[in-house]
Structure 1
Amino acid sequence: MASTPGDAESGIAGIFRQSAHPLALFCLYLFRIAAITVYILCGLLISNYVLSSVIVVVLLAMDFWNCRNVAGRTLVGLRFWNQVDDDGESYWVFESRDVTFRPANPIDSKMFWIAVYTFPLLWLALLIVSFLKFNPREFVPIVILALIFNVTNAIGFTYAYVCPVTPPDTCSLTDGRWRHRSDRDAKQKWANNLASSGWNMGLGGLGGQILTGVVKNSVGRVFK
């Protein structure tokens, strides 16, 4: 039976052909898949915990930086960072590209959000597996770090996408292309959201309290 144009555009090759930024899309999935793959292989095949941890953490850091600074800005026109005022007050700044200037490619947008929301669930599943099969003292910290990185990006980009733009008198535009908005309470909201996941990860009340303190003290430093 003869193939149709729809069949030709299906599959992974079709996705990259339709993407406006195939390299950015490729790197987004490359780092994310590599981190999970290396983590699984190291847990099964390599007994050197230090070497395994270093490799996975480096891949997680590369993925975190790439997703926040490259993929989000290029694929969906969203970005965010932590800013410190002259008085020392720290708050979050979110930007979204004006869709009238350059709307996001539908394929890029779809694949970006799939990556942002799917991989935290995969890491959560690996956390459960690590409790059941591997040595929790060795592998749980790596998975928790991966969850913090992935969930932080998921919350950040979701917040930048769904939250309304600030009123016109407090909203500035850069070359008419980007909408700026800040939320000085977002840091606390993120800390609470991330810490509450301690219950879902089986850490219980004490684990949630510990994770709350860690996130509150570290999340702001990550984005500086």
Structure 2
Amino acid sequence: MLTDDEEDVSLFDAQDDTGSRPPRNTHTKHPVACLFHVMFRVCALLLYLLCDVVSSSSFVAGMVAIMLLLSCDFWAVKNVTGRLLVGLRWWNQVDEDGQSHWVFESRKGTRSSHLSDSDSRIFWLGLIVCPLVWVLFAFSAIFQLKIKWLPVVLMGVVLQGANLYGYIKCKVGGKTDLKNMATNYLGRQFLKQALSKEEES
């Protein structure tokens, strides 16, 4: 098992890419995975929006349905669609000492022909947009004093935010900190400017 202190590794049934690599396909290779990646989260959002409009008396039924959709979405994205659409997978495990470790895996040769640009775009668009919508719903529930809906909205933020965080960590690498990436980038730009000024003078 790998922890966040180790490099991303090959996972599941990935095949080693040898020789020349064909160009990536722009058509979706996993339409069913794309459908489920979008369906659960969009249904949860729509049900939240329409729950009060359709029937205000069935708050408990609406809340349970939204929670089930969010849970199904969390499981599907974490365990299935991330692996199929972008070749990434993450999880959190607790070792014998009680220490919690994030584990990140990536399919070897993620630029090969088994991934498509369409699948990747659908995956990342759904992964980024929906948590932002749940954050907007959270602010709306607070300002409109819809306190009974706040736990549902916070569940949406937490579950979809956890998947977003996990896949961003997978994408940039388990060892890489986003703050360190920004600092290194700014440092390189500063060094380039200093060297170019010395060359001019």
Q: What is the aligned counterpart of 2:172 among 162, 167, 175?
A: 162
Tell me which residue corresponds to 2:21: none
Tell me which residue corresponds to 1:30: 39
Q: CA contact under 8 A between 2:104 and 2:174: conserved in structure 1?
A: no
Give the C-alpha shift of residue 51 in structure 1.
1.2
Give the C-alpha shift of residue 83 in structure 1.
1.6
Q: 1:120 to 1:66 in 2, by over 3 A?
A: same
Matched, 1:110 2:121: yes
Q: How do residues 1-224 of structure 1 correspond to structure 2 at under 5 angstroms?
A: 18-47=27-56, 48-99=58-109, 104-133=115-144, 135-163=145-173
Count of residue pairs brought into register by the alignment:
150
For residue 149 of structure 2, what is the amino acid of its counterpart?
A: F
Q: C-alpha separation between the residues in 1 aligned to 2:98 and 2:130?
A: 34
Q: C-alpha separation between the residues in 1 aligned to 2:104 and 2:114?
A: 18
Give the C-alpha shift of residue 132 in structure 1.
4.0
Q: CA contact under 8 A between 1:46 and 1:52: conserved in structure 2?
A: no
TM-score (norm 2): 0.68
Q: Give aligned-pair identity as a percent.
A: 37
Give the C-alpha shift of residue 129 in structure 1.
2.6
Tell me which residue corresponds to 2:185: none
Q: 1:136 to 1:107 in 2, by over 3 A?
A: same
Q: In structure 2, the residue corresponding to 1:68 is in which secondary structure?
A: helix
Q: In structure 2, the residue corresponding to 1:20 is in which secondary structure?
A: coil
Q: C-alpha separation between the residues in 2 aligned to 1:102 and 1:67?
A: 21
Q: CA contact under 8 A between 2:141 and 2:147: conserved in structure 1?
A: no
Q: 1:131 to 1:45 in 2, by over 3 A?
A: farther
Aligned-pair RMSD on alpha carbons? 2.2
For residue 128 of structure 2, what is the amino acid of its counterpart?
A: Y
For residue 159 of structure 2, what is the amino acid of its counterpart?
A: F
Unaligned residue ranges in structure 1 (runs of 5+): 1-16, 167-182, 184-224
> Which structure shows the higher helix fraction?
1
Give the C-alpha shift of residue 24 in structure 1.
0.1
